[in-house]
Amino acid sequence: MGKKREVQEINASSMADIAFLLLIFFLVTTSMATDKGLLRVLPAPMPKDQEIVDDNVKIKERNILQILVNSNDELMVNGQPMEISKLREKAKEFIVNPSNSEELPEKEIINVDYYGNVGVTKSHVISLLNDRGTSYQVYLSVQNELVAAYNELRDEMCKKKLSMSLEDLASSKDEKDKDKYDVLTKKVYPMKISEAEPKSYGKEGGN
Amino acid sequence: MAKFRKGGGRKLGAISTASLPDIVFMLLFFFMTTTTMKEVTLKVDQKMPEATELTKMEKKSLVKYLYIGTPKKEFRKAFGTGSRIQLDDAFANDPSEVEEYISRQRASMKEADQGQMIVSLKIDKDTKMGIITDVKQALRNAYALKISYTATQKVNNY
């Protein structure tokens, strides 16, 4: 081998400056990924040529939980004024019908995989009607309470029958768990929130 | 009593800055991985509503955004103070424009993903439901049925 040549060291003192420059660029452009939202599915549009049939007539009164929100952001549930904070309990009672009451939806016992015999109120419907003047925050709070009611019920069922929380079940990668989750959300406690076409009762502010 | 030492005290050695680049690089990588470029410049003022039952948007490529709020100060002269819809970088004049916007967005997606599109509605919490209802109808007509109401996590449960 030849003589060992001395390799000159690269001056690295400007490295910090370069890194700082990049750092500042990313600091400025960054926005933490905080996009969270309440997921909902809209109903498919009605065919235009179809006659509008008032199908509310066919549903028995005991199977409907009617929620009205007026332009003053006040709530009316089945004809009774109510606070938003009480809506969750009311919805849960309505969905489950624990006492098998005549006033609440018809209950029937079905046998499903994983969960055994469970009582479900198949034909219950939560109907939500808001005014054009309702504020978005209140509308979302009502939606949130209803979704929360379903989620709490599902969670209770999960803990009772599978001894795991809903969160664990939903995030599980296991195929069987996914199936269990599907059965729970589609057969045991399917979400039935229907939104009626809005009507304008009060004056619409703002716009 | 302590005495002040006058002058000629111990000399402080210079702090070595050799590890500074490493520290900065560490920060740099952190921000590089967490960063997401802003999709559009917001032209409307928004304060998100609060809710508890939130789901995180997993796949960013499936999510399309739609903004509603009152125009920012510099646009108020031209657009007024009422709630407006912002699509991409421009204001929409009418909720029916949403339909066209959605079909344009859908066309720009991969074919396999088109059915899974989620429309994220970023709406100011004081907006009246009237305009939102119109937008929802437009979304229905455009068959963009999966929607997400963007909100911030409520901390305490009343």
pLDDT for position A147: 92
Cβ–Cβ under 8 Å, residues B90 and B78: no
Q: What gap in Å lies between CA A21 and CA A144, rounded to an integer?
A: 44
Q: Is B130 touching A (CB cutoff 8 A)?
A: yes
Task: Name the minimum distance, in Å, from the CA of B11 to any CA of chain A.
Answer: 24
Question: Does the pLDDT at position B82 exceed 70?
Answer: yes
ipTM value:
0.75
How many other β-carbons are positioned within 10 Å of the β-carbon of residue A190? 13
A199 has pLDDT over 70: no
Reported as a single tens digit per residue, the pLDDT across A137-179 is 999 999 999 999 999 998 988 888 888 888 888 888 888 888 8
The whole-number average pLDDT for the span B132-152 is: 90
C-alpha to C-alpha distance for B94 and B97, rounded to whole angstroms? 6
- pLDDT value of position B61: 80
Q: How far is A153 from chain B (nearest CA, A)?
A: 13
Tens digit of each residue's pLDDT (9 = 90 or more) over A42-98: 888 877 655 555 555 566 778 888 899 988 989 999 888 999 889 999 899 888 888
Using an 8 Å CB-CB cutoff, list chain A residues near B157.
none
Which chain B residues are Cβ-neighbours of A41 within 8 angstroms? 145-147
Beta carbons within 8 Å of A116's beta carbon, 6+ residues apart: A161
Mutation test of the interface with chain B: which of A35, A67, A88, choosing the one with the most B Cβ atoms within 10 A?
A35
- 3-state secondary structure at position A155: helix
Predicted pLDDT of residue A203 = 45
Amino acid at B100: E
Q: Residue B141 above 50 pLDDT?
A: yes
Q: Of B142, B129, B146, nearest to A37 (Cα)?
A: B146
Q: Tell me whether B114 touches chain A (CB under 8 Å).
A: no
Whether B31 contacts chain A with CB within 8 A: yes
Strand ranges in chain B using DSSP code E only, listed in sequence order: 44-45, 50-51, 55-56, 63-71, 84-87, 90-92, 118-123, 146-150, 152-153
Predicted confidence (pLDDT) at residue B37 exceeds the cutoff of 80: no
